[in-house]
Amino acid sequence: MNGVRRILAASEPSSVFVVFGAGPGNIGGYRPRPTCALRSSLFALRSSLFARPDALTRATRFARSPGHALATRLLANHEGSVVHLVGRSADKLSDLRGQLSASLSAGEGDHRIQTAVVDAVNDPKAVDEFFSKQVDRVTGVANCIGSVILKPAHSTTDAEWRSTLDTNASSAFHVLRAASKKMMRGEGGSIALCASAVALHGVQNHEAIAAAKGAVAAMAKSAASTYAGKNVRVNAVAPGLIETPMTSKITGNEAARRASEAMHALKRIGRPEHVAAALEFFLDPRNDFVTGQVLGVCGGLSSVRSG
């Protein structure tokens, strides 16, 4: 009997996480630069990666998006967990799965890393079906889908406005709705969304994205109140400017980069692992007394006057 129990325990993952928008390129916003393969030397052997925080830091430093960095952290820091990578591109998901598997033991990625092609922006039914048919239970869900548009309202077209709302607010709502249904039927869980510092502090030429991300922040707080009784926690991160392929038109232009750095109190822009660390904090089952929070990961942009 004890042997059977051990087999059942071994087959049941300790935690099941879902990361929407985990690929190296983000949908919407600026066109990403071509994806470059990570060198195999960036990932240490699993034993050293899991045992040494500095190795994990090096691995996440080369992640090209918050979703990529989050998946890396979840696999490294939550022994035995399963991570579902969800996105629109099967090729990008396959590439990312290969990169993440390099940090695990041989064959371990086959059962700890799962992928699903789902368009969370335009196909809410597919999001519902993913949670109802492809996952038995879920511990934590993060929506990392987003876009960037820097335009004043009078220069923003109707198409740009609708796209910005759909990519950011609608995707968050679709994920929140489906994930909360799944979690309420089980033991609860944690949902983490991505808002923005520009939704918390007025910044010129950000009207469309501020409105969309403001909706995400408000959504997280309302949902936290709605689902608290079902042990479902909902939080959001509010990043400043993060260096990703999506923001390359800003970060790749010296003048624009310097101007952006000057807006942040810390005088620098963020990296994907900064956002990933905050998302992981919200998803970690050990932090189960935190809900309804919008955490600025923004170098002070949302709350501190830059000197």
Q: So what's the pLDDT on residue 50?
A: 37
The rounded mean pLDDT for the chain is 85
Mean pLDDT, residues 173-182: 98
42/170 Cα distance (integer angstroms): 35
Q: What average pLDDT does the segment 188-217 reach?
A: 96
Is the model's pLDDT at 52 over the cut of 50? no
Looking at residue 224, its pLDDT comes to: 98
29 — pLDDT class (breaks 50, 70, 90)? very low
* Per-residue pLDDT at 23 exceeds 80: no
| Domain boundaries of the chain, sorted by first residue | 11-26+33-238+270-297
> What digits encode the pLDDT tens for the residues 247-272?
888 878 888 888 877 888 888 888 99
pLDDT, greater one: 57 or 285: 285
Residue with tokens 């620098």: 268
The 3-state secondary structure of 208-242 reads HHHHHHHHHHHHHHHHHHHHHHHCEEEEEEEECCE
**What is the model's pTM?**
0.84
Mean pLDDT value across residues 47-63: 46
Nearest to 120 by CA among 153, 84, 149, 148: 84
CA atoms of 250 and 260, how far apart (whole Å)? 8
Lowest mean pLDDT of 47-51, 144-148, 239-243, name the range.
Answer: 47-51
- pLDDT at residue 114 tops 50: yes
Give the pLDDT confidence score for residue 12 in this predicted structure: 66
Provide the pLDDT confidence category of residue 30 given band limits of 50, 70 and 90: very low
Q: Which CATH class is domain 11-26+33-238+270-297?
A: alpha beta
